[in-house]
Amino acid sequence: METIKNKTKEKKVKAPAKKEENRTSAMAIRNIIKKPWISEKAQRLYGEDRYTFLVSPDANKRMVKEEVERRYGVNVVSMTMTSIKGKVKRFRYSTQRREGVKKAAVKIKKGQKIEII
């Protein structure tokens, strides 16, 4: 008779995974804010400590907030974002669509300034 050895399988217990902080990578940070949005309305809002920026279409509020605070050294109080669809324009016999844009209006802490111009 053969003896059968019971081989117990040991279950490997994985250590709980650390939650990764939702930080943007250095490469993505450089591409979040494209340029300041300068218009009559945007210039009027400078007096209320609100600044408008043209941002990447896939950027979110948290990413824009971190970038503004890092780049300009100010404290962001609140923010609104809006996406503007591209217009369809006609050129002779064909139609083409212009690219849409995404804007972020950032309100900073009272007394702080951003030098845009």
Give 68's pLDDT tier (boundaries 50, 70, 90): very high
* CA-based radius of gyration for the chain: 25
Q: What is the pTM of this model?
A: 0.68
- The stretch 86-115 carries a mean pLDDT of 93
Ordered structural domains, the chain, with CATH: 26-108 (3.30.70.330)
- CA–CA dist 84, 97 (Å, integer): 13
**Among the listed residues 72, 22, 25, 26, the one whose alpha carbon sits nearest the alpha carbon of residue 104:** 72
The separation between CA 48 and the C-alpha centre of its own chain, rounded to angstroms, equals: 23
Average pLDDT, the chain: 84
